[in-house]
Structure 1
Amino acid sequence: MLDVQQLTRRYGDKIAVDDVSFTVGDGQMIGFVGGNGAGKTTTMRMTMGLLAPDAGQVLWQGCPASAADRAHFGYMPEERGLYPKQPILDQLVYLARLKGMSAPAARAEALELLERFGLAERVKDKLEKLSLGNQQRVQIAAAVMASPTCLVLDEPFSGLDPTAIDQMADLLRERASHGIPVLFSSHQLDLIDRLCDGLVILAKGRVVAKGSKDELESRGRVRHRLVASTDLGWVRDIAGVVTEDVDGRTALLEFVTPEAQRTVLTEALRRGEVLELARVRPTLSEIYREVAA
């Protein structure tokens, strides 16, 4: 389990990360969400020990994370950290050997990953000869090699085409299924919605929300969609109802009280048929906009 506790980082008078805490349990995938400058990358660098926090600590399996612990973490930086003029297979083997793998085992795993990412014919190419998307694939391969105990990935899906996104998603699911905690940041909220067990939302260096999507939904507004056989313009006049939108026989409503919901349902049935009255689940984008505003 990766446990980030009250991390704080200042740059002069600016507080870049302010008392950030969250947990990534074994086998969990947690999405790290926030706008540019929210503090995600700084938090990840402190988690990896690349930056020293001004306050707080990072625990690994209940103890302060050591350099030896972090040596077994898989890390993908926001900016690619590979060698542009080195053949991709050679440097993947080299990086895996730094983590303790034997040369034959490292070569076998690197070839397997490159095959999986459609790069089997490019193993001798220098990194700089690859497209940006393929360079991203190699960076991902470097992060997941040598059986990492934890994955910390900064924007791993950036620049990937839909096929590569699906390949990467499958890879992360596999690692999580083996009990590895996975923390990754992304601006692609649909991916986080699809993949993650929970999320942490940062704004201006602070955690403004965290938890599972169901937990975050329960904090927000509860809206209902009403579909009837007759025009619903009359709902605007019902006390205790916030009318977000009415379009003929469809309305999006927020009921301030249970009595208001019963009143609307009774009146709609008096006027005709009720085809639907259902709670509308907010999208992750709506949750993010609400808490990060």
Structure 2
Amino acid sequence: MSALTLDSLNKSYGDLRALRDLSMEVPAGEIVGFVGSNGAGKSTAMRIVLGVLEADSGQVRWGGAPVDLAVRRRIGYMPEERGLYPRMKVSDQLVYLARLHGLDTASARAAMEQWTEALGIADRRGDEILKLSLGNQQRVQLAAALVHSPEILVLDEPFSGLDPVAVDVMSGVLRAQADAGVPVLFSSHQLELVESLCDRVGIIKSGAMVKFGRIEELRRTDDRRWVVDGPPPQSWVSAVPSAHVVSTDGRRSVVEVRGASADTVDQDLLRSAMAAGPVHEFSLLRPSLTELYRHVVTTDSVATARETVSA
């Protein structure tokens, strides 16, 4: 099965470097989330995949070969800005777009019916786009990206403006596409959604990929924290070298161990806590994607500021 690969992409607009040696891979059958602040380079990277923009250097590959026009015709793309004809009916629009992708009329109509049903907008087929809510317009946009049975999905902020029910519907559709072997790349500012839905995540800042990998890989840190519901930490934490209390309410505590010993100290912590009294909970506390993102971006910003001051 093929993977979509972005290899060392660079793009500048005059003195502004929009992408800096950006690399990532979207394996077949996986959903990859692309997160970063506005202007970080997410849309630029996606437009290069689509051929709307040309990279200054680097390459986009599909199955190891450079992406060409034939491959791009097999990509389902959903732009952040709505690209629908506002006075065209939903059914007519989707059939028209499917026909542009080479489907005959009967197949185009069948695809329109399939995706409007799957996305919960079958009863809106006869409505003009401008008469739909923003959430339903977003569902039509996803249907437009899917109507030609694409081999690759590239979606720019597909969940923007959706209510929780619509988010669940679209999440289910994307997971079904990935399960069928389609590589799915989407950008989003909704980090909790990215964390729950994606197999891998890329964090981009100022055009550079600062973190990329599976969620569990990204959440691993050199320092480990445990939640302990048991005796007051003052009675047992000091017995474990390099452990210290981050927070406590007297019973439920967060204890951190820093450095290399963090991987092997968990049993020492548990034994020490149990020696001081009954323990009702002992669990590893990993940072959420939101916390990781905040840490990565803040650390990078602080480092940049220091370099600027030093210069």
Match of 2:233 in 1: 232
Q: Deviations over 1:265-293 (max 9, x none)?
A: 45433432233322112212122222222
What residue in structure 2 maps to residue 155 of structure 1? 157
2:134 and 2:161 mapped to 1: Cα distance?
Answer: 7
1:287 aligned to 2:292? Answer: yes
**CA, structure 1 residues 241+35, in 2 after alignment: closer, same or farther (shift >3 Å)?**
same
Q: Of 278, 285, 290, which residue of structure 1 is paired with 2:283?
A: 278
| Aligned 8 A contact 1:202 1:208 in 2 | yes
C-alpha distance in structure 2 between counterparts of 1:53 and 1:110, whole Å: 34
Post-superposition Cα deviations, 1:210-254, rounded to whole Å, max 9, x if no partner, equal 1101211224532111221x3224567565123221111111111
CA displacement at 1:166 relative to structure 2: 1.2
Aligned residue runs from structure 1 range 107-256, under 5 A: 107-219=109-221, 221-228=223-230, 230-234=231-235, 239-256=241-258
Question: Counterpart in 1 of 2:307?
Answer: none
Match of residue 104, structure 1, among 96, 106, 129 = 106
Deviations 1:36-59 (A, max 9, x none): 111111111111111111111100
Cα shift at 1:157: 0.8
RMSD after superposition:
1.9
Distance 1:183 1:237, change over 3 A: same
Number of aligned residue pairs? 292
Is the CA contact (8 Å cut-off) linking 1:29 and 1:176 kept in structure 2? yes
Structure 2 unpaired stretches of 5+: 299-311
| Amino acid in structure 1 at the alignment position of 2:277 | G
**Percent same amino acid among aligned pairs?**
46
**Equivalents in 1 of 2:268, 2:120: separation in Å?**
59
Q: Deviations over 1:143-170 (max 9, x none)?
A: 0111101000001111111221111111
2:306 corresponds to which residue? none
1:261 shift after superposition: 5.6
1:83 aligned residue (76, 79, 85): 85
Deviation at 1:97, TM superposition (A): 0.8
CA distance in 2, matches of 1:9, 1:25: 24
Q: Which moved more, 1:144-153 or 1:219-228?
A: 219-228
Shift of 1:123: 1.5
Q: Distance in 1 between matches of 2:268 and 2:151?
A: 56
Change (3 A) 1:263 1:139: closer
Partner of 1:69: 71
Q: Which runs of 4+ in 1 moved over 4 A?
A: 234-239, 258-267
- Alpha-carbon distance in structure 2 between the residues aligned to 1:126 and 1:260: 62
Aligned residue number for residue 40 of structure 1: 42
Structure 1 residues 273-282 or 237-246, which shifts more? Answer: 237-246
Normalising by structure 1, report the TM-score.
Answer: 0.93
Shift of 1:182: 0.5
Deviates more, 1:46-55 or 1:254-263: 254-263
Q: CA deviation at 1:138?
A: 0.5
Letter in 1 for 2:232: D
TM normalised by structure 2 equals 0.88
Q: What one-letter code is carried by the residue in structure 2 that aligns with 1:64?
A: P
Cα distance, 1:112 vs structure 2? 2.1
Could you tell me which amino acid in structure 2 is paired with residue 44 of structure 1? M
> Which segment drifts farther, 277-286 or 139-148?
277-286
- What are structure 1's unaligned runs of at least 5 residues? none
Q: Which AA in structure 2 matches 1:279?
A: L
